[in-house]
């Protein structure tokens, strides 16, 4: 399941690698992963 997220370093939308579903402090779902090009941490809010 490839989730698209915005990479701040590349300034482009890319598909995350090593996705991990998490729950933020306020209880909302989010997904965090790694950019396949520059290895920067990516984050997307929502389930």
pLDDT for 1 beyond 70: no
Q: Where are the domains of the chain?
A: 4-45
Q: pTM for the full model?
A: 0.81
Do the Cβ atoms of 30 and 1 come closer than 8 Å?
no
- DSSP labels for 13-45? EEE-EEEEEEE-TTS-EEEEEE-TTT--EEEEE
């933020």: which residue's tokens? 24
The answer to whether the CB of 43 falls within 8 A of the CB of 30 is yes
pLDDT at site 2: 82
Residues 16-41 pLDDT 10s = 999 999 999 999 999 999 999 999 99
């Amino acid at each position: 399941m490839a989730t698209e997220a915005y990479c701040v370093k590349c300034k482009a939308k890319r598909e995350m690698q090593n996705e991990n579903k998490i729950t933020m402090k306020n209880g909302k779902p989010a997904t965090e992963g790694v950019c396949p090009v520059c290895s920067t941490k990516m984050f997307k809010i929502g389930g």
